[in-house]
Amino acid sequence: MSDGLFEIPGAPAPARGGGSLADMDHTAAPLAVRMRPRSLDELVGQQHLLAPGSPLRRLVEGDQPMSLLLWGPPGTGKTTIAAVVSHQTNRKFVELSAVTAGVKDVRQVIDGARRDLARATGTVETVLFIDEVHRFTKAQQDALLPGVENRWVTLVAATTENPFFSVISPLLSRSLLLTLESLTDDDIAVLLDRALTDERGLNGEFELAEDARGHLLRMAGGDARRALTYLEAAAGGARAKDAEVIDLKTLETAVDRAAVRYDRAGDQHYDVASALIKSIRGSDVDAAMHYLARMIEAGEDPRFIARRLVISASEDIGMGDPTALGVAVAAAEAVQLIGMPEARINLAQAVVALALAPKSNAVIMAVDAAIADVKAGKVGPVPSHLRDAHYAGAKKIGHGSSYQYSHDDPRGIVPQQYAPDVIDGTDYYNPTRRGGEAAYADRVANIRKILRDRKRGDRK
């Protein structure tokens, strides 16, 4: 049997990072392994996957064969779901390592599963668990197709990367894609309380101080495995001091990370976010990077950071560098695509680009000035030549009859009235001479001259 293959009839697969899920009861197993839920009812979070009659419940409780592709951030329960499948179904459970297994190993598992199904008596179905399936090559994924298509195996594959980019289409179409969401602080708190009191965990040996709990939740960032690993390290530190309470200092020492004084629901949340944006606006790239680091280390939601950067790209940079918005939006999409901690690099790139970009608030000033006039009642009728003329009888009442098509003019600009009379001649957009907006300033001035020559001609 290859080193890439692990097989236990009717037993779970080895946990990622070493060890076997079959050893969950072993006292030397990591806390995160010992506390892994054994049934769907113990699963924390992912309520959208646990409704009665859901595919996951049908697979586990109804023992119905189907192949699943689990997509979600680290520590959200992908391996746990595989363990639950192994505990609650009467199937042989096999795990392949996506790092070490080859096509030969894939075919070996599928051939073995096919032989088991062909037996006249004692038929045994096989669950094949593949963690980090995105690491499999196309050839390895192709080798899975016969087993999945013919249901010789029930495939449970897990990935942290977007499967539409990392998993071949034929395998996607033959599997049910389940998306797992990051755990909330409340979800992580349930796991911590369970680990502190459960006999499989710390069995009531320690209490967790409130400030230490808050720091632990921030560091976890929605990752259950990380939260329990840090708790176990802190418990070891407390045990070494013969302490019964895991306090903040013990936790900081155990995980070698100082607590960032940052309340995601309080003033500091808004103060640090405000400082980040104002540092970008002030073009201080180093200060901006500092505040970004504080938000990341405090466990701030990266989607919140990304949204603020997208706003800043238009509010503070605008046409000074029109590409800034694209950079910010790309960073926001990267956060959704790959998640933390890797997305910190994308956020940092956006912060650098925005901080160093030429600044202009002309766009927000323009739209706010226009909105203010609309609110003040300056909403005169649309000039008749601009009105819709596509319905019968429209031209008989003058709609669109004198409209001049801009592309027919060699300049691409026809000197005709576009704005309602009440705001005709009002300048909302006043571009700066900074960065790329300087070119727009020249163009705006030229266009306004052409359009307003019409008014001077009208007066003659």
Written as one letter, the residue type at 379 is V
Give the C-alpha separation, 236 to 248, whole Å. Answer: 14
Give the C-alpha separation, 5 to 129, whole Å. Answer: 10
Which of 94, 91, 93, 89 is CA-nearest to residue 62? 89
Give the C-alpha separation, 146 to 103, whole Å. Answer: 13
Strand 245-246, strand 207-208: pairing: parallel
What per-residue confidence (pLDDT) applies to 120?
A: 57
Angle at which helix 343-356 crosses helix 285-297, to 10 degrees, equals 150
What per-residue confidence (pLDDT) applies to 22?
A: 46
User: In sequence order, what DSSP letters do the residues of 408-446 get, joined into one string?
Assistant: GSTTS------S-GGGTT-------SSTTHHHHHHHHHH
Angle at which helix 267-281 crosses helix 343-356, to 10 degrees, equals 50
Contact of 232 with 33, CB cutoff 8 Å: no
What per-residue confidence (pLDDT) applies to 25?
A: 53
Which of 34, 12, 2, 222 is CA-nearest to residue 131? 12
Give the C-alpha separation, 235 to 247, whole Å. Answer: 10
Mean pLDDT, the chain, rounded, equals: 82
- Radius of gyration of the chain from its Cα atoms, rounded to whole angstroms: 31
Q: pLDDT tens per residue, the chain (460 residues)?
A: 334 444 433 333 333 333 444 445 556 789 988 888 888 888 888 888 888 888 888 877 776 667 889 998 888 888 888 878 777 777 788 888 787 888 888 899 899 888 888 875 666 788 888 988 988 989 889 999 999 998 888 888 999 888 988 899 999 998 989 998 888 889 999 999 999 999 999 999 999 998 889 888 877 877 888 899 999 999 999 999 999 999 988 988 888 765 555 555 545 667 888 899 999 999 999 999 999 998 888 778 888 899 999 999 999 999 999 999 999 999 999 998 888 888 999 999 999 999 999 999 999 999 999 999 889 888 888 787 777 666 655 565 666 566 777 887 888 888 888 888 888 888 999 999 989 888 888 889 988 888 887 665 554 4
Angle at which helix 323-338 crosses helix 343-356, to 10 degrees, equals 170
Q: What are phi and psi of 147, to 5 degrees?
A: -65, -40
- For the segment 336-388, what is each residue's pLDDT rounded down to a tens digit? 888 888 899 999 999 999 999 999 999 999 999 999 988 988 888 878 777 76
Which of 129, 136, 147, 134 is CA-nearest to residue 84? 129
Which of 152, 191, 193 is CA-nearest to residue 67? 152
What per-residue confidence (pLDDT) applies to 7?
A: 44
